[in-house]
Amino acid sequence: MPLVEITYAPRVPEDVLRELRDALPHLVSLAVACPEEPYDGDLRPGDVELRFRPRGPLDGGGLDLVVEVRSKWFESRAADRQERADRLCAGIRSASGLRDVGVYLALPVAAWAQGD
């Protein structure tokens, strides 16, 4: 279950953010799919958690969009994490039309629990 934080510049239009809200669960799921947690294309509540936040006046950086993905470490994910981040970045750029996009893919050792 990936946690996804999206930090966006004030100049990013709300309609672009809505498009990203709809596209990101699929794009992120493709990016982190692995034998241990395969992606079957059928997302259910809790499969991908998105958190949008505007860049504040004291935040640094000049990118239009920074997407941070945290998903549980598996050796198969870690082996090609740069390629996964690159593919996700390309998918986000394509879906949003934004060029100044950064993607940070973190694979911590973690556990997840969820109620029904």
pLDDT digits (tens, 9 = 90+) for 27-82: 999 999 999 999 999 999 889 999 999 999 899 888 999 999 999 999 999 999 99
Q: How many structural domains comprise the chain?
A: 1
Does residue 18 form part of some domain?
A: yes
Which CATH number goes with the domain that contains 43? Answer: 3.30.429.10
Which residues neighbour 19 within 8 Å (Cβ) at sequence distance 6 or greater?
95, 96
Kindly indicate the confidence band of residue 108, based on its pLDDT and cuts at 50, 70 and 90.
Answer: confident
Does residue 78 form part of some domain?
A: yes
pLDDT in tens, 75-100: 999 999 999 999 999 999 999 999 99
Does residue 25 form part of some domain?
A: yes
From 102, 81, 67, 91, select the one nearest 33 (Cα to Cα).
Answer: 81
pLDDT of the residue at 111: 77
Does residue 90 form part of some domain?
A: yes
Q: At which residue do the structure tokens 């870690």 appear? A: 78
Contact predicate 76/34, CB 8 Å: yes
CA distance 63 to 38: 31
pLDDT of the residue at 71: 95
Does residue 116 form part of some domain?
A: no
CA distance 90 to 106: 17
φ, ψ of residue 94 to 5 degrees: the values are -65, -45
Indicate whether 109 pLDDT > 90: no
Residue numbers of the domain that contains 86: 3-106
Does residue 94 form part of some domain?
A: yes
The DSSP 8-state label assigned to residue 56 in this structure reads P
